Amino acid sequence: MLRLVFTWFVSNVVRYWIKTLEVKIYGSPLQPNSSPIFSFFHGQQMLLMGYPRREEVSVLVSFSRDGMLQKQMLKNLGFGVVRGSSSRGGAAGILALIKKIKDGGWAALATDGPRGPYGKVKPGPLYLSKLTSGQVIPVAAAARRSITLRSTWDRFIIPFPWSEISIVLGDPISIPKNSKDFELEIARKELEISLKKLTEDARAYITKTKKQY
């Protein structure tokens, strides 16, 4: 009971926190009626919550104790949640994501998870694209004023309230159903390069729009 109250309280704090942010979107626009599979580096989740959603975004959450809290919190914030991880229930989680994407839904994955190393892209989003014909959308974000938790491997970023946020979308990546393993590896490397560049671009947009006093 206390956990439910805690997650309700925190999710509401986060909801109003996100509403204070000045979010600016850059890069490639989404194609109409597409089923995007947003792919991003760990640590940027709170910044990316400011992205305007036209559809429910489904995310994969582990079966751990922390995962249970994350599930409730994300549901309170309006996200769709499927359970699974690389170590437990992964197949069921992926199948649930596949169904949601095929039904026209949106999905989002931190592609260097679940345990890092930070910035090392895993092929999960690319396999989802191959199995669903959905497009992988590389995305990165930066905040003008924020705190980065250096004590965690994912370098989680907490933006200050009323801070400016830049969110940059890269060119979509589509993986044909008949793609070979070596082609997936090429796409994985391209996605990793794209995400690193987008992260730099997001920081650059913040710098360029810096207010002069």
Say how many Å lie between the first and final Cα of the chain, rounded: 49
**Strand, helix or coil at 148?**
strand
- Residues 131, 154: Cα–Cα separation, whole Å: 28
pTM: 0.89
Tokens of 121: 């892209």
pLDDT at site 88: 52
pLDDT at site 212: 41
Instruction: Parse the chain into domains and list their residue ranges.
Output: 22-208
Mean per-residue pLDDT pooled into runs of 10, the chain (213 residues): 80 93 94 89 93 86 68 87 63 82 91 83 93 95 94 87 97 95 95 97 85 40
Q: Residue 56: CA atoms inside 13 Å, Cβ hemisphere, count? A: 15
Q: Residue 94: CA atoms inside 13 Å, Cβ hemisphere, count? A: 17
pLDDT at site 210: 53
pLDDT at site 213: 30
CB-CB contact of 110 with 42 (8 Å): yes
